[in-house]
Structure 1
Amino acid sequence: MLLYIHVPFCRSKCRYCAFVSRPLDMAEVEVYATSLPLEIRAFGKKLGRPKVETIYFGGGTPSLLPPWALSRIIPELVKHFDIHPAVEWTFEANPDSALDVDYLRALIGYGVNRLSLGVQSFADADLQFLGRPHKAKAAMAAFGAARQAGFANISLDFIWGLPGQREATWLENLKTAVRLRPEHLSCYGLTVEPETPLAALAAAGELELPLEIEQGRMYVHGAEYLEEQGYLQYEISSFARMGFQSRHNSGYWEGRDYLGLGPGAVSTLGGVRHENPRDVREWAALAKTGRCGIGGVALTREERVREFVMLALRTAKGLRLSLYRRLTGIDFLKENEGLITALRQNELIRISAGHLRLTKNGFLVSNLILERLRY
């Protein structure tokens, strides 16, 4: 099982962010650090001390949790879950809150062995536009602090397709990142999410993004550059040195069961999906009564098949056609014969070794392709 723990606190809300997050408030951190152990205990009992192969602290900004909060939370995980000896344990951090080497060493002492730093850009103008609370210099310093603390598995997050950004400036970001030699890179195209400040700018006609052809060059040439530098693309936005693919995220793409704890966290266990209340105190009230995970919804067959195809086509492995047929009784290629022919002619997909895979250009238009497929 995969275990995800959501930490909803941030120094400030970034302009593009649609995740469950709120400004740091120490009174709410106290509520969170008191309630999360209760939720951990409840699920540990409900699921019979389940085996956990990966742990992921995401947010929000987990690195804003003070040491006293970690000392309440993490021992409860070890006590109530059967954590695999070779667990991949990821902890997200923003550079401005990952400069304390002693704090980072304490994470390693608890068992954390993978750090994910939200760099987003090495250009201060980009960071200011995004509403990030750090500058490029802090990102460099945080990476150095993580190495000094002893992290041997560091992932850096970036966003491409920003206003004013061009292929050359994006590639310069990647070259700077490669010089640091992180083990993993996640590179996401800027998405304008509803009800964010960026959405308001777009609605007002004040958000000018690079042209689609320029964004396409950023994505394809950026991916080619990273692969030339030894970073294998194993998912639409993910690149890793050999042996450093994210096992946790790969578990999502393979459709494995996952348990989400914390405000707004989502779980899918045995085909049943549940989402926690997004409000910290509403979630805490449920944790206090032990009524965690109540009210899940069973996914329909259509939903399960759609997710299976969508997640598989996000990966470099692609969709295993024999497995699709075994699950559905349908020949995927015959069901989508006309579309498959058009996609192959336009070099947006490849079919080999029993798998249907999107090419790099196919990844660029993956949403359009998924909308047109028949399941």
Structure 2
Amino acid sequence: MLLYIHVPFCRSKCRYCAFVSRPLDMAEMEVYATVLPLEIRHFGKKLNRPKVETVYFGGGTPSLLPAWALGRILPAITRHFDLHPAVEWTFEANPDSALDVEYLRSLIGYGVNRLSLGVQSFSDASLAFLGRPHNAKTAMAAFNAVRSAGFANVSLDFIWGLPGQREATWLEDLKMAVRLRPEHLSCYGLTIEPDTPLAAQAESGELLLPPEGEQGRMYVHGAEYLEEQGYLQYEISSFARMGFQSRHNCGYWEGRDYLGLGPGAVSTLSGVRHENPRDVRDWAALVKAGRCGLGGVALSREERVREYVMLSLRTAKGLRLSIYRRLTGLNFIKENEELITALRQNELVRLSAGHLRLTKNGFLVSNLILERLRY
């Protein structure tokens, strides 16, 4: 099983962010740090101390958790769950709150062995546009602090397709990242999410993104550059040195069971999906009443097949056709023969070793392809 812990606090809300997060409030932090161990204990008992292969602290900004909160929360995980001896334990951090080497060392002491640093860009202008609370110099300092603390598995997050960005400037970001030699890179295209400041700016016509052709070159040539530098692309947005793929994220894409704890966290266990209340105090009231995890919705067979196809085609491995046939009794290629022929002719998909895979150009238009496939 995968374990996800959501930390809903940020120093400030970034202009593109639609995640469950809110500016840090110490009264709510006290509630959170008191109630989360109760939720951990509840599910440890309910699931009979389940074996956990990966732990992931996401957000929000987990690195805003004070030392006293870490002392309440992290030991509760090892107390109530059976962690695999080779557990992958990831902790997300923003550069502005990842400068204290002693704090970072304390994470390692609790068992955290992978750190994901939200750099997003090495351009101060781009960081200001995104509303990030750090600059490029702070990002570099944070990376050095993370290494000094002893982390040997570090991932850096970036966003491409920003206003004013061109292929050359995106590649310069990647070159600076590669010089740091992180083990993993996540590179996401800018997405305009509803009800965010960027969405309002886009609706007013003020937001000028790079042309589609330029964005396409950023994605394809950026991916090719990273692979030349030893970072294998194993998912649409994910690149890793050999042996450093995110096991937690791979578990999602493979359809593994996962338990999500904290405000707004989602769980899928044995085909039943449940989402926690997004508000800290609403979530806390539910946990205190012993009602967490109730009211889940069983996924239909069609929903499970759809998710399997969509998630598989996000990965470099692609869709395993024999599994699709076992799930549905259908031949995926025959069901989509005309479309797949056209996609192959345009070098957007490949068929090999019983898998259907998207090419790099296919990844670029994956949403359009998924909309047209029958499954």
Structure 1 and Structure 2 fold alike (TM over 0.5)? yes
Aligned mates of 1:215, 1:222 — CA distance in 2: 10
One-letter amino acid of the counterpart of residue 195, structure 1: D
Aligned mates of 1:12, 1:54 — CA distance in 2: 28
Match of 1:56 in 2: 56
Deviation at 1:283, TM superposition (A): 0.1
Match of 2:25 in 1: 25
Cα deviations by residue, 1:74-112 (Å, 9 ceiling, x for unpaired): 111111100111000000000000000000000000000
Aligned mates of 1:326, 1:268 — CA distance in 2: 21
Aligned mates of 1:274, 1:323 — CA distance in 2: 26
Deviation at 1:47, TM superposition (A): 0.5
Aligned mates of 2:255, 2:103 — CA distance in 1: 34
Match of 1:125 in 2: 125
Match of 1:291 in 2: 291
Q: How does 1:127-206 map to 2 (within 5 A)?
A: 127-206=127-206
Which structure 2 residue ranges, 5 or more long, are not aligned?
none
Aligned 8 A contact 1:57 1:91 in 2? yes
Aligned 8 A contact 1:28 1:280 in 2? yes
One-letter amino acid of the counterpart of residue 235, structure 1: E
Aligned mates of 1:116, 1:341 — CA distance in 2: 39
Q: 3-state SS of the aligned residue for 2:259?
A: strand
Aligned mates of 2:275, 2:28 — CA distance in 1: 20
Aligned mates of 2:75, 2:222 — CA distance in 1: 41
One-letter amino acid of the counterpart of residue 189, structure 2: G
Q: 3-state SS of the aligned residue for 2:34?
A: helix
1:321 is the counterpart of 2:321 = yes
Cα deviations by residue, 1:189-233 (Å, 9 ceiling, x for unpaired): 000000000000001001000000000000000000000000000
Deviation at 1:309, TM superposition (A): 0.2
Aligned mates of 1:159, 1:212 — CA distance in 2: 16
Runs of 4+ in 1 over 4 A off after TM superposition: none
Aligned mates of 1:108, 1:41 — CA distance in 2: 22
Match of 1:368 in 2: 368
Cα deviations by residue, 1:267-307 (Å, 9 ceiling, x for unpaired): 00000000000000000001111111010000011110000
One-letter amino acid of the counterpart of residue 125, structure 1: A
Deviation at 1:29, TM superposition (A): 0.3
Cα deviations by residue, 1:234-282 (Å, 9 ceiling, x for unpaired): 0000000000000000000000000000000000000000000000000
Match of 1:5 in 2: 5
Which structure 1 residue ranges, 5 or more long, are not aligned?
none
Q: How does 1:253-332 map to 2 (within 5 A)?
A: 253-332=253-332
The number of equivalent residue pairs is: 375
Q: 3-state SS of the aligned residue for 2:49?
A: coil
Aligned 8 A contact 1:38 1:290 in 2? no
Aligned mates of 1:287, 1:36 — CA distance in 2: 8
Deviation at 1:12, TM superposition (A): 0.2
Aligned mates of 1:346, 1:79 — CA distance in 2: 53
Identical counterparts, % of pairs: 87
Aligned 8 A contact 1:161 1:190 in 2? yes
Segment of structure 1 superposing worse, 260-269 or 287-296:
287-296
Aligned mates of 1:284, 1:322 — CA distance in 2: 44
Cα deviations by residue, 1:34-59 (Å, 9 ceiling, x for unpaired): 00011001101110000000000000
Deviation at 1:372, TM superposition (A): 0.5
Q: Calculate the aligned-residue CA RMSD, in Å.
A: 0.4
Match of 1:252 in 2: 252
